[in-house]
Chains A and B, each alone.
Chain A
Amino acid sequence: MKTIPPIRKNVPAGFSVFKAGENPEVFLYLESGELAALVKSNGKDKELFKIQPGELIGLPSLLEKQAFAYDIVATKDSSYLEIDEECLASTLKSTPVWLLAGIRQINQQIKKAKSASLNIKSTNVSKVLASFLYSKAKLCSIQNQTTIFENYNTLLKECAWISRIPFQVLKDELFSLERRKLVFIHQNELGIQEPLLLQALEEYLAYTERGKEFPPFHINLVEKRAVHCISRQGNISLESSEWLEKLKSNDKFATIFEVNLLEKLGLLKKVESNTLTPDEEQIQKYLLCFEYEKEIKGNML
């Protein structure tokens, strides 16, 4: 296949090849001599870089139709090739298909890389807001007291700043949390009664995202009774067999399986090699999940 040849140009030293702002839709391949890229600084030319034989300049002008950002001037007598769209297309046509596909792929990767920072936002707004509000509430919460933030707009602005999610999107989501009674809004105030409820929501959404079952919503009645039972025991350390006795005294169907499950779910934690003690925060979270299952799942209607 015949290709369209590039245009060869010879220029003397000092010749201005292109001016900043021009968009000739070509790129140059320097065969001999030397070119320099210059910008105006305080009325004087400032050299940015030099172009040596065998180097290309101006690819964005042809590929992305971008104007030159600087002047290109010959600093020595030079000879260069000017490659325009027709010349490039005809050369590409004569290359093997796989090479063409490879070049196309690089171009797609360039486009993808250019939009990477736009994709930093999490798509799960509910999870972001739950996680953010949980952290904020956890830092200021006092046990058995509702945490009140004076102005939810201030909080949402901060959340928008760190998550890059637009303010209005977060505001809509906050009102959705209020409808589900996970937070309370009064005028500009935001109340969070149970920060753990927001952590539970965050975890539920993370499990759902991964296509996994959220453990608090997938335990049976005997297991639920076991959670309630250990929630009443206070801060005691017992061996597995002793915990089994406790569970059995509450529910005759309880077995060692329930003790093992409670440990696996982090509701009982090892303190010494043989003893287990209740993790109050984890238990509280499970109890809240039992009570607020509908609200967490969001299927209120």
Chain B
Amino acid sequence: MKISARNFLFKEGDKIENLYIVRSGSLNALRKEFKRIKIIESFLPGSIIGEIPSTENEKHLYSVRAEEDSEIEIIPIHLIHSVLQETPNWFPKFIQTLQWRKQNLICKEQKKLAILSLPAFLFVLNHLIQTSDENSFSLEKILSLLESLLSTSQEIIERLCYALHSIGFFLFDGKNIQVLKPALPIMLYDVLQEKAIYKTQPEKIFSSTSQILLKTFVTAALKEGTTIENGLTEISGYAFNQAAPVYSKGSRKIFQELENHKILQLKPASSENFNDDKLYGNLKYIQDLLELNRIYPLLDQELAKHL
């Protein structure tokens, strides 16, 4: 079969029906990335184009276009299957396993690439959040900024966005990212950076006891809190204890971690009774911190599962 320059041999999404051997000329495998057509592979004489499908209705993952007038030999898939029937019984399974290993490996590598792209992705997202008044950003914009920092692909960043969407980090509809808590990507970036670069336990990640205390503070503050200056909300020790689960009733010393990190301030009353004390905290900041503490452990577990 002859194919003229600039003509397509097949397009992305077409059903796999043949294998092709390049006899002369040259062809390129193309895929659309970053709004540009990217050449992902070149085929010269002797190259095989396409794959032996292991199931019916498998589709091509890229388009192939002739870059010059080329000559192609076509091997229909049914011929491949009849040749395989003549081979020893283990041989077709050998080919199928090879294909499966390839797919599996590509999938694993893509997961790895998506995880490696996360810091740069957050860096770009934070830049957009901090330099605009909006909370919705197009994937296209993010990709164009990301392109200067990493050699990643649209497919991988899309996967990363869907995975982050699945853990409630932001909303992603395939085109736009809607950030619900603008402080969260910034906090997460800092936390990941502390862990990766300085190998320290991130300051904003708290013990489960402190997280329960913060949740209790939020519950009590929403119910009975008084907003005072500097964005601080005041609650009484009594209100805290009313909102607290039985196992985490307040006493002064359990707030030490949160006081050390200046998340909550405890102002003891003159009496020894905790109920008379006052607690202060920035409600919005604490809500963001709690969300960060919810997301952070999911990165290791859920993110890897969804990617």
Contacts and interface: CB of A to CB of B under 8 A. Distances in A.
Contacts of B93: 29, 54-56
Interface string A87-125: 010010011101101110111011001101101111100
A163 B150 contact: yes
Interface of A: 3, 5-6, 27, 29, 31, 54-56, 59, 81, 83, 88, 91, 94-96, 98-99, 101-103, 105-107, 109-110, 113-114, 116-117, 119-123, 127-128, 130-132, 135, 138-139, 157-158, 161-164, 202, 206
A113 B109 contact: yes
Nearest to B110: A116
A133 to B, nearest CB: 11
Q: Which of B80, B97, B120, B196 has the most CB atoms of chain A within a 10 A radius of its CB?
A: B120
Contact of A113 (B46, B90, B105, B123): B105
Interface in B74-96: 75, 80, 83, 87-91, 93-95
B109 A127 contact: no
Given A98-B48, A102-B52, A135-B127, A164 B109 contact: no
Interface SS of A by simple majority:
helix
Contacts of A56: 90, 93-94, 97
B216 interface: no
Interface of B: 19, 21, 46-48, 51-52, 73, 75, 80, 83, 87-91, 93-95, 97-99, 101-102, 105-106, 109-110, 112-113, 116-117, 119-120, 123-124, 127, 130-131, 145, 147-152, 193, 196-197
B116 A120 contact: yes
17 contacts: A5-B88, A59-B98, A81-B90, A83-B94, A98-B75, A101-B48, A113-B105, A116-B109, A120-B151, A122-B149, A130-B148, A131-B149, A132-B123, A135-B123, A162-B119, A163-B149, A163-B150
B148 A106 contact: no
Nearest to B98: A106
Contacts of A120: 113, 116-117, 150-152
Nearest to A157: B197
B148 A113 contact: no
Contact of B116 (A99, A109, A117): A117
A188 B94 CA distance: 59
